[in-house]
Structure 1
Amino acid sequence: MSTDKKRKSHSSRDDDARPNKKPALESLLSLPPLKASTIEDGSEFTPVLADTPGLELSKNLPPLTAYFKPRSTTKTTSGIDSTELLLQSSAHPKLDLIGREADDDADAQVKHYVAVIDPEQKTCQFVPVRRVTVRGGIRKAKRLERGSDDEEDEVEDGTATTLREQRTALTNTFGTKVARKAAQSVAENARLATAPTREAQAAEAAILASLPEESVSESAAHKAENLQAAIQANKPVPRANTAAAHPADVYPLAELVPGGLSVLRQVPIQDWQDGSRAGKSLTSYTSSRFVSRRIEKVVRSGDTTQMQLLRFIQLLLDLTRALRRGNPTDARGTRRLPPRDDLRRILSSSSNAPIPDAILDAVRRRFCSAGNGAALSLADQTLLHTTICALSLHIPPSMHEAATSSDTSGNAANELATDPSDLRDDLRLDNTKILQYFRELGCRVDKPRETEYAKFGIKGGKVEAASSRVVRLRVPVEFPKVRRR
């Protein structure tokens, strides 16, 4: 207890002896009122406030050489704002000192001043100064030029002077075979880089002579192309004609429709034509959003191929809704078709004419590879979806009910375009999935152009266009690249 009391008494005496104010502040407070002014003479030669973080050079700071260069970020032609200061010194025995002004932090926007007080004249003049941060870096050891014999002797004796030589010596002594071979390759490249011109030319000629006729880069490019083609061929998407000169020939209808054009011509459309002549609303003939928004204009156009194509797209959409859950013995994600009679009834529910057997058989052969032609695996379902997406590209955008464009073709001369939002809702997919399907077909996804607002029925201007997406098929077709991990 006595020791604690002594400590408290000592601390209290120390507190009493400690001054309340610093002497510097006392001297400033004793000054009379001063008249303040700022000196702006437009000179770039001003005092410098130097910070030396991590260095103790306040007492023996070596002489620094000043360099100036014009600032590119200002239009001022005079004063310290017009030039940038760089301080440099190599006078220190071990460090290279470089001082720079701040240019990328908050301090770069702050102006610094030094106050010059004259008590006799009762003035306080503020002089603008530069603030510089001086940092030091260890000077790199100069590499001595030695002969190969001396170098080998030093490696054997363990007296290598540079870090690279020490690392090479450790690799040759304790490294694996692969590491030693890599170090030897680095050494050979270094010798070639420092060899005379004739020796380098001879070495290059020998290396080129040992290479095959096909360069390594060309061989790698061919391998990448072959790999890309093999992966694309195995994807569950329609086969694309990459040599096509027009976008419509990339996925021709003769290849997209199972059985070709002969099957497409058997698709019944008489009830649509009769309903149009009778003045009925044709949207009651379908439950598909994609079809209902195009059926009126397609039928009024009188194009039989377009009507049968739209009716076939409706048939495939009805087929996707008719799929049932697979059996417990089926693979994961497998869907099954209903019995043949039930399937014909489902596909003919929106039409007075029954679906011909040729169409049913062609569809089953194309999309049902599992379960003896009665089930669709995950790959079969993806093929069905991507086929519907490819078929939709052949329906011009001008056939959309909201389109106000007078262009009957609807497509540019060098592309096929469509709005994927309707198929997204019909197939019950999210936006990312439907756009990925079109990308796998080689389509580009972007926003509608301002000249296409009428074609795609965009009435909200740029605000509506910013949230809309259009897929375009152009030639040459570009498929998603293979990602290398």
Structure 2
Amino acid sequence: MASSSQTTKKPSKRKSEAGSLGHSDVQVIVEEASTSAGPAFVNFPSVRPSKNTPFTIYTRDVGSSSDLTKQHSIIAGETEDVEFFSTNRDHNLNTEGADCQYLPALYDPSTGQVHIHPSTPLYLLTHGVKRLRASVNAPLLDKQAHWKAQRNDLGETFGTRKAKTQIRAEERNKVDVGAMQGVKGHLMGSIPELAMNDGPILANESIPTPNVTTSDPSEVYPRDSLISSQEWSSIDVKSLQQADDDETRQKALPWRRKVGWIQGRIRYFNSLEDKTIRRTQLRYVFYLSTLCLLRENAAVLSKVPVAELSSKFPGVPSQLLDGIIKRFAEPKEKRYVITEKLHVKLLAWICVLYLHVGGFSVDTGRVAQDLKLDKAKVENMFKNLGCRVDMDTPAEREKKGITTAEASANRKAVLKAPVVFPKQKTRGPAKR
């Protein structure tokens, strides 16, 4: 126990250094605002870099006269594995920490002055691992792939035998895109370059070769694309010119079926004064009649030997007969057969000849009636040939005295030049 006579010691106060130097007052000096980079406060919430990591301040407002704390600025630095960057001052100064400011103050004991720097921004720093940079930008398809992998795992465990077989088949048919990267250059180099053509869509091989540059409808499908010169020269139309009545003219044609429209065109051509045009158009009529007879005999053509073909085509020259057989039929066991594809080709030739004989404007209903075909099929063929299939205008209907329903039932196929073919429709995969 301590003695009561012992005196209690009072703690001694430490004198300030400023007082000892003779300065009783402290002077506070606020420095002028700076527009350039200077001291800065940074806060590292998680990972703290080493002290020798360099940092740089960047600003969006280059050449601005505003205080650095009011500018759009960021601070960034990096090490070998990690990159640091601020997140609070790069989005219009309205994010977390943008309204908070710390001011550094430096006290000079020799002068008794405190210097405050107002242009000192505060940065909240975050970090990113460089190796994980690619995974941050991974496509959203990864989620779908992950979901599909989980679904396949469930199918392998609880699925039926059919479901398991389908899952294995999908795995076998899966293409490894990464493995193809190494051979991509070789594959691309082996593919020849094709010139891009932004012009009109060209015709297919089932129709005569058209002239897509001419502005004359009569030259869109020239004679050379329909028939060879030798076949054309073999056609004799003297009997058509010398016939006195429709019955005699009908017997002079290969196709003996009585067609009023064709008879009317023959009478019109015989009335022309120009002998060259008259002979040319009558040859077109004879060629049209020959192809219509071939189409009518298409079913029995495969049953007739080659030596007996001429009996099925009375009045047709041998050169013309050989030409149409080679053009519209295929040899099969010493006979000829017209396939479905060649049927389409034959119909295209017949429709083009109807255009030549009809002045490049034909009633589709008349053609369908002559050929005993569906009207929609005939109209579709004329469209594939580049024709416009429309009904008569109101003025034409009024002139003819027909109704709208009658005009719709008798649409016209008109060939314009330059010819424009319809775009091919592409059909997607069937929905299952």
TM-score, normalised on structure 1? 0.44
TM-score, normalised on structure 2? 0.48
Query: In terms of Rg, which structure is larger?
Result: 2
- Give the structure, 1 or 2, with the largest relative contact order (CA under 8 Å, sep 6 or more): 2
